[in-house]
Chains A and B, each alone.
Chain A
Amino acid sequence: DQQVKQNSPSLSVQEGRISILNCDYTNSMFDYFLWYKKYPAEGPTFLISISSIKDKNEDGRFTVFLNKSAKHLSLHIVPSQPGDSAVYFCAASVWDGTASKLTFGTGTRLQVTL
Chain B
Amino acid sequence: DAGVTQSPTHLIKTRGQQVTLRCSPKSGHDTVSWYQQALGQGPQFIFQYYEEEERQRGNFPDRFSGHQFPNYSSELNVNALLLGDSALYLCASSLGQGVGKLFFGSGTQLSVL
Contact = CB atoms under 8 A, between A and B. Distances in A.
B56 A101 contact: yes
Interface string A39-71: 001111110010000000000000000000000
B90 A43 contact: yes
Contacts of A46: 101-103
B48 A95 contact: no
A89 B99 CA distance: 16
A34 interface: yes
Interface residues of B, number: 26
B42 A107 contact: yes
Interface string B32-66: 01010000111111001010000110100000000
Given A43-B4, A45-B104, A93 B42 contact: no
Contacts of A4: 42
A41 B106 contact: yes
Contacts of B7: none
A42 B55 CA distance: 26
Contacts of B48: 99-101
A106 B56 contact: no
A103 interface: yes
B84 interface: no
B25 interface: no
B106 A42 contact: yes
Contact of A49 (B33, B35, B101, B106): B101
Interface in A85-112: 89, 91, 93, 95-96, 98-107
B56 A100 contact: yes
Given A89-B43, A98-B55, A106-B41, A43 B99 contact: no
Nearest to B4: A43
Contact of A106 (B35, B42, B99): B42
A105 B42 contact: yes
Those 5 A-B pairs whose CB atoms lie nearest each other, nearest first: A43-B104, A104-B42, A99-B56, A100-B99, A99-B55
Interface of A: 4, 6, 32, 34, 36, 41-46, 49, 89, 91, 93, 95-96, 98-107
